[in-house]
A = this chain, B = another copy of it.
Amino acid sequence: MSLYESSFPQMARMLGQVPTWLDKAQAHAEQKKYDPEVLLAARLAPDQWPLGRQIQTIISWPLRLSALLVGAEPPAPQTADETIAELRARIGKTLEQVSALKPEQFRGAEDRTIPLFFLPGKGMRAPDFVFQFALPNFYFHATTAYSILRHNGIDVGKADFIGPIALRDL
């Protein structure tokens, strides 16, 4: 298995679940007659990023990781508030960009050192970066986004988080 296989297909699969969560959030808002956009400001603790920022972070990870693994400058993160429609559009665009990534673009990435923007002068071996930092952070924000919706009464369940899995007959 390569770093490509260990990260991008699954990040895309999880990101691809977010529109399902947003569908359920919008259905809940319609049923309860509230503005679904208010959910984007919801949090589980007052000093935590709200839902909108959690989703922005999930969106940013695949292309950020893709840039870092080839030694390119990562795209600037989107941190200005976005509407649900804007988030949906960026999810769609990001999924297209991630599906265009080719495993061979990342040949040799295993041997790179990834610089850490928050620790000048320090970096991590690329496999350590993927497994100890990128994936845990990605799942952290994905689960937190899901949990904020769950805590607000939206009918999301584990299957909405995991999404379809690749089955085979025994």
> Is the C-beta of A62 less than 8 angstroms from some C-beta in chain B?
no
A: number of interface residues (CB 8 Å): 48
Contact (Cβ within 8 A) B132 A168: no
> Is the C-beta of A60 less than 8 angstroms from some C-beta in chain B?
no
Among listed A23-31, A98-106, A133-141, interface-contacting one: A133-141
Please give, as numbers and ranges, the residues of chain B lying within 8 Å of A137 by CB-CB distance: 162
Number of copies: 2
Q: Which of A36-56 contact B (CB under 8 A)?
A: 44-45, 48
Q: Name the distance in Å between A160's Cβ and chain B's nearest Cβ.
A: 11
A residues within 8 Å of B by Cβ? 1-3, 5-6, 9-10, 13-14, 44-45, 48, 110, 113, 115-116, 119, 121-125, 127-128, 131-133, 135-137, 139-140, 143-144, 146-147, 150-151, 153, 158, 161-162, 165-170
